[in-house]
Amino acid sequence: MTNSVKHGIDLLQDPILNKSTAFTETEKQELGLVGLVPDVTETEDLQLQRVLLQLAQKNTDLDRYIYLVNLLDHNETLFYRTVMSDPARFLPIVYDPTIGEACLKFGHIYRHPRGMYLSITRRGKVKEVLRNWPQKDVRFICVTDGGRILGLGDLGANGMGIPIGKLQLYTACAGVPPQYLLPMYLDAGTNNEQYLHDPLYLGMRKPRPSTDELYSFVDEFVEAVQDVFPKCCIHFEDWTGTDAVHLLQRHRDNYCVYNDDVQGTAGIVLAGMINATKIKGTKLSDEKYLFLGAGSAGIGLADLICSAMVQEGLTPKQAQSHVYMFDINGLLEDTRTDLFDFQKPYAHQNPPTRDFVAAIESIKPTTIIGVSTVGGTFNQKVIESMSRINDRPVILALSNPTEHAECTAEQAYTWSNGKAIYAAGVQFPPVHLNGQTFLPGQANNFYVFPAIGMAVFATQAARVTDELFIEGARAVADQVPSELLKQGLLFPLQSNILETEIQTAARIATLVFDSGLARVDRPADMVTFIRRHLYKPEYASEAVSTSKAA
């Protein structure tokens, strides 16, 4: 696909086409750029050196985030060249944990519109609004209503940083071409009083509507997407727990949609659990799981783990009997009257308790999974209790940002005397204890959802099923070498994430074809097929070309 030829300042102001100092002399002459750019022709490598130099002069990761977003606004290719040059360094800057601070201050650091802002006041005209987007072949919309951003709560319009960042990871981690990606904020108001009174807040200054009103608005949006962008997959992100579960249930059987908090989080944690069982020499169905937190992430995790246990031969009810949950009101058990429909399968016959350690002593789980968003809740008593009951307790402290982690890697290894198999939702450094070095993994969704994205993009899948996430989890788990497993690392190294995601996407795509969900012809070689669709952060040989898919 090509745009009409742009010249001069118009060309320099188009971030997709702009090469900045890399235009050749011929291009400068033909495109009216002589005198508008320095009279040199630099390579991308030299431009990258300048970017790295300028980043090194920034004092905080938030400053680096702002710099990189500004770079993206001016030169998309150089932005992705930078991020993909060193993923382990840059992913924590463009996404978690820095994105949390960026969202808290989004209205204050806002510089340039990116994505679409669709207000509930536009009901009845959603199709018309969507048609204002210049790219007519959108394959993914990542959409939030800002209802529950990371572990930070209702951020309203400030949550727009999340879909922007998530879609950048589609490209940076899995090579999905960025021109097909659309970040979107559905503005239905906010109940955050601080933002309602902030003069720089970018959203509607109204409290959130009733559930029926919100769902009616979302229904119109989902149906409008089918008409305006018929090949589009909708990625729901950071909705409140009940909305996340119910909207997924409402649309998943009819449209190509998924919820990353419910299914993506579950996929990467399942990958970690698969590798934890490899370390222990057990199966998923041999384990007993106790969750701290029973919202959308916890339920999504539990459901996917149960689906994987069913694949090992259990019935759904037998699988559910391996999973216990604990929330702000204590252990989920069958006398509780305050449970949502999706929580009830995990409310077993147990004595009521509001003491998490007492629940551990009673249930004797092999694995505890923290999705509480409350930092420090896996305290010394919790870890010591798990270590008394288990030779190798599995401790997954998944809440983020960093200050919300249920415990740190150092705490888990120290309090368990090195027995714990540990991962977190954020990256912690290696821990040296008793002459051993432990490598804590990061259970980050970016191992799974970008690969789902690439597989769906390449196959034009009609729907996204739980089975695709289970296959993605198994593919991620299989790419951790045995020598790193021995040091406790549950996930692949981030430094080679593109290759990891290519292999994962190929496995997922194979299942898409096997399941009859693909809308393209099956290729002879799936990895080659995926590679053919990869975006590469390289300047087009012709400055007017906008297509960077191979």
Tokens linked to 486: 């021995």
19 is catalytic: no
Q: What confidence score (pLDDT) does residue 426 get?
A: 86
CATH of 263-444, one of 3.90.1150.10, 3.30.565.10, 3.40.50.720, 3.50.50.60: 3.40.50.720
6, 19, 65, 95: the active-site residue: 95
- In the prediction, which pLDDT does 4 show? 62
Cα–Cα dist 126/222, whole Å: 10
Task: Determine which one of 19, 166, 419, 548 is catalytic.
Answer: 166
| Strands (E) located in 227-322 | 233-236, 257-259, 289-292
Would you kindly state where each structural domain of the chain is located, as residue ranges? 8-94, 263-444
CA 13 – CA 406 distance, rounded (Å): 45
Q: Rounded distance, CA 292 to CA 330, Å?
A: 9
Cβ of 380: how many Cβ atoms within 10 Å? 12
Q: 8-94 has which fold? A: Hemocyanin, N-terminal domain (1.20.1370)
pLDDT at 111 (0 to 100): 83
Q: Of the candidates 76, 80, 69, 72, which has an alpha carbon nearest to the alpha carbon of residue 17?
A: 76
* Bridge partners of residue 116, in order along the sequence: 184
Per residue in 282-298, pLDDT tens? 999 999 999 999 988 89
- Would you state the pLDDT for residue 1? 39
Token pair recorded at residue 316: 């759904």
Token pair for 402: 């960093």
φ, ψ at 367 (rounded to 5°) = -140, 135
Distance CA 461, CA 285 (A): 30
| Cβ atoms of 498 and 527 closer than 8 Å | no
The structure's pTM equals 0.91
pLDDT at 109 (0 to 100): 87
Known catalytic residue: 195? no
Please give the pLDDT value at position 549.
43
Determine the Cα angle at 144 with ends 143 and 150, to 5°.
Answer: 125
Cis peptide before 92 (omega within 30 of 0): no
Q: Does residue 152 contact residue 103 with C-beta atoms inside 8 Å?
A: yes
Q: Is-cis flag, bond preceding 401, omega within 30? A: yes
Q: From first to last of its 550 residues, what are the pLDDT tens digits of the chain?
A: 344 689 999 999 999 999 999 999 999 999 999 999 999 999 999 999 999 999 999 999 999 999 999 999 999 999 999 999 999 899 989 988 888 888 899 889 888 888 999 999 999 999 999 999 999 999 999 999 999 887 788 999 999 999 999 999 999 999 999 999 999 999 999 999 999 999 999 999 999 999 999 999 999 999 999 999 999 999 999 998 889 989 999 999 999 999 998 899 899 999 999 999 999 999 999 999 999 999 888 998 999 999 999 999 999 999 999 999 999 999 999 999 999 999 999 999 999 999 999 999 999 999 999 999 899 999 999 999 999 999 999 999 999 878 889 999 999 999 999 999 999 998 899 999 999 999 998 998 999 999 999 999 999 999 999 999 999 999 999 999 999 999 999 999 988 999 999 999 999 999 999 999 999 999 999 999 999 999 999 998 754 444 444 4
Closest CA to 445 of 240, 238, 278, 250: 238
Q: What are phi and psi of 271, to 5 degrees?
A: -60, -45
Which residue is associated with the tokens 């034009």?
460
